[in-house]
């Protein structure tokens, strides 16, 4: 465990591969969550920042503000944002599992969503990003 914490505390490319190995072969999402690095997730968020703010009370951009998104009801994080009916109908709350599926392919998870983002192919990148989102709220 200590080893994992030490490895999770920095974020070079080699370190990422070490974290990937530590998660084991064919890792579950939970195993990836255990080695996830929120600071690397923060750098991945720069791709989201083209359309999303994440600061508390920050205005919506092309997409809704994402402060406190983890655990919040789907399509309700911003009271001002005009969500698609497709996303409104998805219902439920943003659990780690659902966020992982959304970030894999928004269009596959919610056909008809207006989120114009192709998805993140690397499961470890998604785990890192979810770890970062959890720190913002």
Among 74, 124, 127, 131, binds ligand HEC (CB under 6 A): 74
Per CB under 6 A, does 48 bind ligand HEC?
yes
Per CB under 6 A, does 11 bind ligand HEC?
no
Query: DSSP state, 73?
Result: B
Q: What angle do helix axes 96-104 and 123-135 make, rounded to 10 degrees?
A: 130
Per-residue CA distances from 2 to 7, 12, 56, 93 (Å): 9, 18, 32, 32
Q: How far is the CB of 6 from ligand HEC (least distance, A)?
A: 27
Number of residues that bind ligand HEC (CB under 6 A): 26
Residue in 96, 55, 99, 95 with CA at minimum distance from that of residue 78 = 55
Among 8, 32, 33, 87, binds ligand HEC (CB under 6 A): 87
Give the binding site for ligand HEC (CB under 6 A): 47-48, 50-52, 62-64, 66, 69, 74-77, 83-84, 86-87, 103, 113-117, 120, 129
């Amino acid at each position: 465990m200590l080893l994992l914490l030490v490895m999770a505390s920095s974020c070079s490319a080699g370190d990422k591969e070490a974290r990937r190995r530590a998660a084991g072969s064919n890792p579950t999402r939970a195993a990836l969550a255990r080695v996830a690095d929120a600071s690397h997730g923060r750098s991945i968020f720069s791709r989201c920042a083209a359309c999303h703010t994440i600061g508390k009370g920050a205005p919506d951009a092309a997409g809704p503000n994402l402060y406190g998104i983890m655990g919040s009801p789907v399509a309700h994080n911003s009271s001002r944002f005009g969500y698609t009916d497709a996303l409104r109908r998805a219902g439920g709350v943003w659990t780690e599992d659902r966020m992982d599926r959304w970030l894999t392919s928004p269009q596959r998870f919610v056909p008809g969503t207006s989120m114009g983002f192709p998805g993140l192919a690397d499961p470890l990148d998604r785990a890192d990003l979810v770890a970062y989102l959890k720190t913002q709220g």
